[in-house]
Structure 1
Amino acid sequence: MRFKLNKIQQKWNESNKTDFSDLKAVFLNCTLKKSPELSHTEGLLGMSQTIMEANGVSTELIRVVDYEVAYGVQLDMTEHGWDKDDWPAIQEKVMAANILVIGTPIWLGEKSSIATKVIERLYGFSGELNKEGQYAYYGKAGGCLITGNEDGVKHCAMNILYSLQHLGYTIPPQADAGWIGEAGPGPSYLDEGSGGLENEFTTRNTTFMAWNLMHLAFMLKNGFPAHGNIRSEWDKSDHDHPNPEYR
């Protein structure tokens, strides 16, 4: 879904002097609705995606519920009793990207069950190491977008952004945005008359998030500095006080 950007968004795109063309971004839409049903979360993700594409970033949006993603925290759950698992192919795309944006609706004040599953599957790869011997997600930028008709935007964002940084992602300033309509049943983000598309606060914060993710990913193109965080080097060394015995 592509957006018609407003005047300030277009101005910033046109005046940008940074070459983001070698960056890739993956957007994981954690809606509960299978395609082609309308996803309001995908609508908000589309604004960020449009900004990035206008600045040369290669993007891909994946609606996770359209795939057979197994539960678990291993790299490939077909090796742990599941008949099918589409996650390894999604994981490859995540690892090839410089930027990851997770989008989720709010249900009962929490991120969706699909978003929880995505975090668990991302966790299953977090022990892998990159060529520098760091954890594999080092050098990647992460953010999130939230939609719904109930309170919980900041709660969901705190949970997702904490999870991403714990796995190794770097989080830029203003790395989240969201929109919630009137509490209870009613118009959602893309619905006519909802006010979602016209909401300046949501549009501004989504724009800031997109730009800050691009800026950070550009700074991290050559990786996160590999000093003081090399797991492989730590494991090979002798310690005076191994953790279990240190008091």
Structure 2
Amino acid sequence: MSDHDFSDLRALFVNCSLKGASEPSNTQALMDVAIGVMEKQGVGVETIRAVDEDLVPGVYPDMTEHGAASDGWPAIFERVLAADILVLGTPIWLGEKSSVCTRVIERLYGNSGQLNDRGQWVYYGRVGGCIVTGNEDGAKHCAMNVLYSLQHLGYCIPPQADSCWLGEAGPGPSYADPGSGGPQNEFTQRNTVFAAWNLMHLAAMLKRSGGFPAHGNQREQWDAGCSFDHPNPEYR
């Protein structure tokens, strides 16, 4: 298989806009640049508009087991597991990622204690990135928050795994609005394309090597008394 053949990869883009799918989303418009790059390379891409899903609050895998009348997360989690690449897209509100993005990360967290078939945390061997849009400062802050959260849960983060577009501070045209300059902004377009390629490169490297190495990070072996060369021989 060619180093640039990514047809065995699948990517899931989760748009955390506050707008439903019936409304145009500036975040989706920028995400579509990365999606276009990946699709041209044969990656199977799926997009979810999170606000349209039945994502109840909570940090358990299935909130119907904890009093919720319904919960769409278990079905979404299956789509997460099927993806080698996860990209969270979010607008900026008051300098922070959207509340919808926070909820998606909370629900991802709810499954993070599960193990994969190698005894590692369930998200090991997958890669994560983010795309941010807004009309105010805070893009790097949002990216730091999202990317930290994803790596903490077990995702691998490649170099330059984020991109953003910021319009003029305060009310003004958003990324996809006519005359905004967003689709023509070289910095934003370059970073979005680079992020897409870096996500594909790392996902392919992990997939073709059998995932992230399974030594020194297996929960069941640790629980069974394996210290993985812990420097204090009396600890275990």
Q: Cα RMSD between the aligned structures?
A: 1.1
2:220 aligned to which of 221, 232, 236: 232
Match of residue 196 from structure 1:
182
Q: Which ranges in structure 1 are unaligned for 5 or more consecutive residues? A: 1-15, 243-247
Match of residue 231 from structure 2:
none
1:52 aligns with 2:38: yes
**Corresponding residue SS for 1:234:** helix
Please, what TM-score do these two structures have when normalized by structure 2?
0.94
1:117-149 per-position Cα deviation (integer Å, ceiling 9, x unaligned): 001000001100001100000000000000000
Do the aligned partners of residues 236 and 160 (structure 1) sit closer, same or farther apart at CA in structure 2, a change above 3 Å counting?
same
2:123 aligned to which of 126, 134, 137: 137
Q: Which ranges in structure 2 are unaligned for 5 or more consecutive residues? A: 228-233
Using the TM superposition, give the Cα deviation of residue 238 of structure 1 relative to its aligned residue in structure 2, in angstroms. Answer: 6.4
Using the TM superposition, give the Cα deviation of residue 68 of structure 1 relative to its aligned residue in structure 2, in angstroms. Answer: 1.2
- 1:63 corresponds to which letter in structure 2? R
Match of residue 163 from structure 1:
149
Using the TM superposition, give the Cα deviation of residue 160 of structure 1 relative to its aligned residue in structure 2, in angstroms. Answer: 0.3
2:28 aligned to which of 42, 55, 80: 42
Using the TM superposition, give the Cα deviation of residue 18 of structure 1 relative to its aligned residue in structure 2, in angstroms. Answer: 1.8
1:207 aligns with 2:193: yes
Using the TM superposition, give the Cα deviation of residue 178 of structure 1 relative to its aligned residue in structure 2, in angstroms. Answer: 0.2
- 1:232 corresponds to which letter in structure 2? E
**Corresponding residue SS for 1:228:** coil
- 1:121 corresponds to which letter in structure 2? R
Could you tell me how far apart the structure 1 residues matched to 2:152 and 2:92 are? 22
1:126 aligned to which of 97, 112, 126: 112
2:235 aligned to which of 231, 237, 241: 241
1:98 aligns with 2:89: no
- 1:68 corresponds to which letter in structure 2? D
Match of residue 10 from structure 1:
none
Could you tell me how far apart the structure 1 residues matched to 2:129 and 2:169 are? 25
Could you tell me how far apart the structure 2 residues matched to 1:170 and 1:185 are? 36
Match of residue 230 from structure 2:
none
Could you tell me how far apart the structure 2 residues matched to 1:22 and 1:42 are? 24
Match of residue 146 from structure 1:
132
- 1:113 corresponds to which letter in structure 2? S
Aligned residues: 227
**Corresponding residue SS for 2:111:** coil
**Corresponding residue SS for 1:220:** helix
Please, what TM-score do these two structures have when normalized by structure 1?
0.90
Could you tell me how far apart the structure 2 residues matched to 1:21 and 1:68 are? 31
Do the aligned partners of residues 17 and 233 (structure 1) sit closer, same or farther apart at CA in structure 2, a change above 3 Å counting?
closer
Using the TM superposition, give the Cα deviation of residue 17 of structure 1 relative to its aligned residue in structure 2, in angstroms. Answer: 5.4
- 1:115 corresponds to which letter in structure 2? C
**Corresponding residue SS for 1:25:** strand
* Runs of 4+ residues over 3 Å off in structure 1: none
Could you tell me how far apart the structure 2 residues matched to 1:232 and 1:202 are? 43
Match of residue 30 from structure 1:
16
1:85 aligned to which of 61, 71, 76: 71
Identity %: 64
**Corresponding residue SS for 1:184:** coil
**Corresponding residue SS for 1:197:** helix
